[in-house]
Amino acid sequence: MISTQAANARTEPEALFADVIVPRHLAGPFTYTVPLSLRPTLRIGHRVLVPFGRSILQGAVVALSHVLPHGLDRARLKEIQSLLPKGAATDVSSNLFQLSRQVAEQYVAPWGQCLRLVLPPAPKPRAQGSHYELTEEGRAALADRKPCSVKARALLTRLGKKPSGLRRSSRTPGTSDLLHDLKARGWVMEVQDQVLPSVLTAPIARASRQLNQGNSVITTPFTPDPAMSWAEPLFEALRGQGPSRVLLQGPWTDRLGQLRKAVRLVLDRGQTVLIIVGEAERAQWVAGLIRDDETGIVPVCFHSGLSDQVKAQLWDQIYRQVVRVVVGTRSAIFLPLYELGAIWIEGEEDAALKEAQEPRYHAREVAWLRAQNEQAVLVLSSSHPSLETRAAVEQRGIVV
C-alpha cells in the first residue's frame, strides 16, 4: 500500500527556480521561485516583476532550473510576482540579452547595470491634468466689474492675463474655494488637458505607403551609381553574408552619398539600418539629409535630449518593427531593431561615442559586438579615422 506522503510527493509539481537580473549596481542574479501559473510559459529572457527588498522591480530571467542552487534555503526564497503587464515588451531579444552580457564582461561592469541599457525607457506615469479658464460670462463680468469679492476679482484678473489658463498644480492656498464659487456662477470652467498624439504617426504613415503590401521592400530596386565605383567594396559587403567591418574614409559629401545608397540597398534587402553619431543635433541633421519619402526612407531620431515619454514611444515603435531606419546617439546602439543589416558609425573618431558613466562603453566597440552577433555590416565612416580603427580594420576588415 502506497503511503499518503508518497502519493503527495508524486502528484506535487516539480519546483522551478529562476535566476533574475535586476537593473541595479549588483554583480550577479538573484534566485526566485516560479509560481505554478508561470511554469509552462516562463523562459530565459522574459521580463518579470519581482519583490526586491521593499520594492517591486523589473528584471530579466537569465537561468531556469529544477534544482535549488547549493547553499540556498528554499523557505527564504521569494516568488516571482508576474510577467510584465499586457501591452509591454515581455522579453529581451536573445541578441540584446547576449549583448548586455558581453558589455558587462568587456567593461568589467555589473550585468544588472548593463541590462538597463537594453530595457525600454520607463517614463514616470503622468495623470492627465486640467486647468481653469475664464468663460465668456467671466470675461464680461471682469470687464463690467460685476459685484464680487476682492480676492475673486484678483483671481479673475489673473486668469484674464493667462491665455493658457491656471493649472490645478499651480493653485495657491485658498484658491480652491474661490474657483468653486466662480465655477458655480459660470465665470470659470475646468478644462482637461489634451493628450498629444504619437510623434511618429505622420512620418510612419508616409513611409508605409511607399512599401509593397505585406512586404517591407522598397518598390524601386537599388542600382549603384557607376561614378561611385571606388566604394564598390562597401556594397559588396552589404550584399554578402556574415558580419564584416568596413572603414570608409573620404570627404563628408562623398560619405553622405554612400550613406544614402547604403541605406537604400539595405532596405531593399528587407533589413533595417542603425546610424550612430556623436551629438543629438548632428543626429537630427543627418536624419533630415537622408530622408526620402519617395523611396520610403523615413528615419527617426533617438537621443538623450528627448523626453522619457517620447523615447518610450520610439522604443515601442522600433520593438514592433514599424521603424526601419534609426539615427541616434550612442545609446541607440542598444535599440531593439530586428533583421539588422547595417550599423553605420558616422564620425567614428568622435569622443562623444564614449559613455562617461558606468559601464563606460564605447558605441563603436559595442557596435562591432552587435554586428557580429546579428551578422550585420559595421561601417566606420570618417574623414580622418582614429588610429585604432584603421589598425583594427586593416588587420581584419575592408578599407575603402
Closest CA to 255 of 344, 333, 337: 344
Phi-psi region of 108 (alpha: psi -120 to 50; beta: other; left: phi over 0): left
Which residue, chain included where needed, has cell 523615447? 311
Residues 314, 322: Cα–Cα separation, whole Å: 10
The residue that leads in pLDDT, 169 or 306, is 306
In angstroms, the Cα distances linking 339 to 32, 43, 269, 371 are 33, 22, 10, 11
Task: Give the highest mean pLDDT range of 33-47, 230-244, 321-335.
Answer: 321-335
pLDDT of residue 11: 53
H-assigned helices in 232-299: 232-239, 252-268, 280-290
| pLDDT above 70 (res 394) | yes
Residues 324, 278: Cα–Cα separation, whole Å: 20
pLDDT of residue 287: 95
pLDDT of residue 35: 93
pLDDT of residue 171: 57
Residues 136, 139: Cα–Cα separation, whole Å: 5
| pLDDT above 60 (res 270) | yes
| pLDDT above 80 (res 126) | no
H-assigned helices in the chain: 4-11, 94-106, 111-118, 136-144, 150-160, 175-184, 201-208, 232-239, 252-268, 280-290, 308-319, 363-374, 387-395
Residues 275, 259: Cα–Cα separation, whole Å: 9
The residue that leads in pLDDT, 372 or 26, is 372
Q: How confident is the model at residue 197 (pLDDT cuts 50, 70, 90)?
A: very low
Residues 389, 290: Cα–Cα separation, whole Å: 25
pLDDT of residue 202: 34
Sign of the alpha-carbon torsion through 235, 238, 239, 240: positive
What's the mean pLDDT in 336-349?
96
Sign of the alpha-carbon torsion through 318, 322, 326, 328: negative
pTM: 0.71
The residue that leads in pLDDT, 382 or 219, is 382
Task: Give the highest mean pLDDT range of 7-21, 68-82, 88-102, 120-134.
Answer: 68-82
Closest CA to 50 of 73, 24, 84: 84
Q: How confident is the model at residue 189 (pLDDT cuts 50, 70, 90)?
A: confident
Which residue, chain included where needed, has cell 474661490? 178
Mean pLDDT of the chain: 83
pLDDT of residue 349: 96
pLDDT of residue 194: 54
How many C-beta neighbours within 10 Å does residue 257 have? 16
